[in-house]
Chain A
Amino acid sequence: MQGGATGLAYRGRTASIGFAHGPFVRVDADTNGERVAGNLAEEALALRAAIDTASGQIADLAGIAGGEAAQILEFQVALLEDEDFIEDIFASIGEGDAADVAWRSALDAQIADYNSAADEYLKARSSDLADLRDRVINILRGGGGQALEIPSGAVVCADDLPPSRFLEIDWSGGGGLALLRGSPTSHVAMLARARGIPMVVQLGAIPDIGATALLDGEGATLELDPGAEQVRLFEKRRESHRKSRASARAILRRPTASWRGERIKLFINIQRVDDLEHADAQYADGIGLMRTEFLLTERGGLPDEETQFGAYDAVLRWADRRPVTIRTFDAGGDKPVAGFTLDGEANPFLGVRGLRLCLARPEIFAIQLRALARAAVRGNLKVMFPMVTSADELEAGRRLFAEIVQRLQADGIAAMLPELGIMVEVPAAALAIASFKASFFSIGSNDLAQYVLACDRSNGALAPLMDPLHPAVLELIARTAEHGRRAGISVSLCGDMAGDPRCLPALLNCGLRELSVNASALAQIKQTIDRLSSGGGVG
């Protein structure tokens, strides 16, 4: 690498924000080693020894890691100590299977079973089981025992990395993680965020070369063998991130955000219960939008009442007395769900989606409303309907909900009708906002902009036209906020605009005083409001 030359750059997705500049190390899973199986007794002994070694390794890791990581590992240890489970594997060896074959098939069966669960917590465990499976097989093949040799501060690159491999690496000298596949919602991403290790996932194919790397967890880029100019720009970004982060963290911990003396409430959007594990979530004024579609995409069909109640109740318990706004199923459009949404609609974005679909499938909607009615007595719950066009739809939903509450109460089950509001995302609803007898309004700016601008938001060719700051979009937001102010009804905005610092001045000037953003954007948004309040720019 000559100074001044430009190295290779790759872009992925952010899993953990931060910057790393160090040696580039590939740790792709070694596929060396078909092992040669011994006789029955030797195979049984080999597996017993491998299990003991794995147990020891994991216990050591848990001891070093502590906290959340230790709890993730504890389950693996418990499984290794499960006599019933292990006995079955030894039985297969007794019938002639090689140790690694017997172990793999038992673990694969468990993994498949967890993956088929209609339950996201259980599914998340399958990657832990895969981790355990690979660890023991690696030991059986003679590859285990020694930790990965990673120089301090390295940018570690792998196809994917299980949590226990992450924990084996000594991160005390910094460093970063670049994954060719992987996901921002994986356990390893959670660990990286908790440790403050920058991590970029889904980088795609990267040539097997490079001695040094720059990993930018904010811009989600990986640069290999960078030139002097690349390094200079990288260090500049790192420094400005460090300063901004320090002041954002300080501002985040302040009890409230305010702008020109007015209180600005900042809520978070969550896609699933796990999102509450984000370190910044605790600083939110509540949950402005809990999406419930994740419940529909579990394998094993549509979720039953208990599964739903469990999820809603968990979120309410987390929020304690803070408000939690749960949106009823918003399926259809770009979110088809087998067994629920309609097939073959010529124009699904203008079709039977959101509340329209729920009212058309009352047998499915009723289960969600029952779970919500029961959850309503457990905390400060508000429920909102998506994709509402006319006041009649809101009233039809309310009637259905009220009947369900009555029936539950008649059966002696604790239940109540929560505050009911609507998403404002259909232009007709924004224009006729006064016709809705809602307790609150939440502006869904993504769909609102798409419908007002007549631009499919998934169509890249329209990106230049898809401007949420178009005066027509802002006009509808301002009207809705103005109606709320006059009628004393709370109005919030939960689309991508709320998390975009460049949109904040416009939103505040439209009269909005409540915003809901992803937990990861909370610090930056609070900081931006603070800057705007003291006369600064969006930064």
Chain B
Amino acid sequence: MLDKADGQIFTGNVRLVHAVGMHARPAVKLTKLAKKFQAQVSVRVAGAAEWINAKSVAKIMAMRAAHGSTIEIKASGTDAEAAVAALVDLIATDFPDGA
């Protein structure tokens, strides 16, 4: 059964400021954070055809997001809104240590 919150899709956009783009270290941090949420979370480089599972480090790496590109995030599920906010924050703050 779908309730209203579950059905709603939350989205966000954020610019990738990391100097070398979406590399191993940021990709690991991003997937680790995404996995903390129940929601289904997807990302893509703005304008790309395919959405990518934010919990898959192999796919995030294969996305090859370059420095300066815009990352689109969408999520659906119970904690979708929080998941989008957390990922936007992680990317916007350049993947701080301890995150």
In the complex, the answer to whether B67 meets A78 with C-beta atoms within 8 Å is no
Tell me, yes or no, whether B58 is within 8 Å of chain A by CB: yes
In the complex, the answer to whether B23 meets A122 with C-beta atoms within 8 Å is yes
Asked whether A309 and B32 contact (CB < 8 A) given A83-B55, A314-B19, A314-B20, the answer is no
Asked whether A306 and B66 contact (CB < 8 A) given A82-B31, A313-B19, the answer is yes
Tell me, yes or no, whether A294 is within 8 Å of chain B by CB: no
Question: Mask for B48-83, Cβ within 8 A of A = 1, else 0?
Answer: 000001011111011010111100000000000000
| A122–B62 alpha-carbon span in the complex (Å) | 10
**B53 contact from A84, A128, A273, Cβ within 8 A:** A84
Question: Mask for A84-118, Cβ within 8 A of B = 1, else 0?
Answer: 11000000000000000000000000100110010
**Shortest CB distance A429–B (Å):** 34
In the complex, the answer to whether A75 meets B55 with C-beta atoms within 8 Å is no
Tell me, yes or no, whether B46 is within 8 Å of chain A by CB: no
In the complex, the answer to whether A110 meets B66 with C-beta atoms within 8 Å is no
**B67 contact from A71, A79, A113, A306, Cβ within 8 A:** A306
Within 8 A of B (CB), among A304-324: 306-307, 309-311, 313-314, 317
Asked whether A78 and B31 contact (CB < 8 A) given A84-B56, A310-B19, A314-B20, the answer is yes
Chain A residues lying within 8 Å of B23, measured Cβ to Cβ, are 121-122, 125
**B64 contact from A85, A117, A273, Cβ within 8 A:** A117
Asked whether A84 and B59 contact (CB < 8 A) given A71-B25, A125-B24, A310-B66, the answer is yes
| A84–B27 alpha-carbon span in the complex (Å) | 15
Chain B residues lying within 8 Å of A306, measured Cβ to Cβ, are 21, 66-69
**Shortest CB distance A433–B (Å):** 36
Tell me, yes or no, whether A74 is within 8 Å of chain B by CB: yes
| A125–B69 alpha-carbon span in the complex (Å) | 22
Tell me, yes or no, whether B86 is within 8 Å of chain A by CB: no
**Shortest CB distance A337–B (Å):** 22
| A311–B19 alpha-carbon span in the complex (Å) | 7
Q: How many residues of B contact A (CB 8 A)?
A: 23
Chain A residues lying within 8 Å of B20, measured Cβ to Cβ, are 121, 273, 310-311, 314
Q: From A78, A119, A313, name the one whose CB has the most chain B CB atoms within 10 angstroms.
A: A78
**Shortest CB distance A287–B (Å):** 15
Asked whether A75 and B57 contact (CB < 8 A) given A113-B62, A117-B64, A309-B67, the answer is yes
**Shortest CB distance A80–B (Å):** 10
Interface of chain A, main secondary structure: helix
Residue of B nearest to A120 (CB): B20
- Chain A interface size band reads 20 to 34
**Shortest CB distance B46–A (Å):** 14
| A81–B69 alpha-carbon span in the complex (Å) | 27
Chain B residues lying within 8 Å of A82, measured Cβ to Cβ, are 31, 55-59
Asked whether A83 and B67 contact (CB < 8 A) given A121-B20, A121-B23, the answer is no
Question: Mask for A383-416, Cβ within 8 A of B = 1, else 0?
Answer: 0000000000000000000000000000000000
Residue of B nearest to A88 (CB): B58
Tell me, yes or no, whether B28 is within 8 Å of chain A by CB: yes
Residue of B nearest to A74 (CB): B28
Chain A residues lying within 8 Å of B19, measured Cβ to Cβ, are 310, 313-314, 317
Chain B residues lying within 8 Å of A78, measured Cβ to Cβ, are 27-28, 31-32, 57
| A306–B64 alpha-carbon span in the complex (Å) | 12
In the complex, the answer to whether A75 meets B64 with C-beta atoms within 8 Å is no
Chain B residues lying within 8 Å of A74, measured Cβ to Cβ, are 25, 28
| A314–B68 alpha-carbon span in the complex (Å) | 13
Within 8 A of A (CB), among B2-43: 19-21, 23-25, 27-28, 31-32
| A306–B53 alpha-carbon span in the complex (Å) | 25
In the complex, the answer to whether B67 meets A310 with C-beta atoms within 8 Å is yes
**Shortest CB distance A134–B (Å):** 18
| A259–B58 alpha-carbon span in the complex (Å) | 53
**Shortest CB distance A402–B (Å):** 24
| A125–B22 alpha-carbon span in the complex (Å) | 13
**A75 contact from B24, B62, B66, Cβ within 8 A:** B24
Chain A residues lying within 8 Å of B61, measured Cβ to Cβ, are 114, 122, 125
Asked whether A79 and B68 contact (CB < 8 A) given A71-B25, A125-B24, A310-B20, the answer is no
Query: 14 extra interchain contacts, Cβ-Cβ under 8 A, other than A75-B24, A75-B57?
Result: A71-B25, A82-B31, A84-B53, A84-B58, A85-B56, A121-B21, A121-B23, A121-B24, A125-B23, A306-B67, A310-B68, A313-B19, A314-B19, A317-B19
- 27 A-B pairs whose Cβ atoms sit less than 8 Å apart in the complex: A75-B24, A75-B27, A75-B57, A78-B28, A78-B31, A78-B32, A82-B55, A82-B56, A83-B56, A84-B53, A84-B58, A85-B56, A85-B57, A85-B58, A85-B59, A113-B62, A119-B64, A121-B24, A122-B64, A125-B23, A125-B61, A306-B66, A309-B67, A310-B19, A310-B20, A310-B66, A313-B19
> Closest 4 CB pairs between A and B?
A84-B56, A310-B67, A85-B58, A314-B19
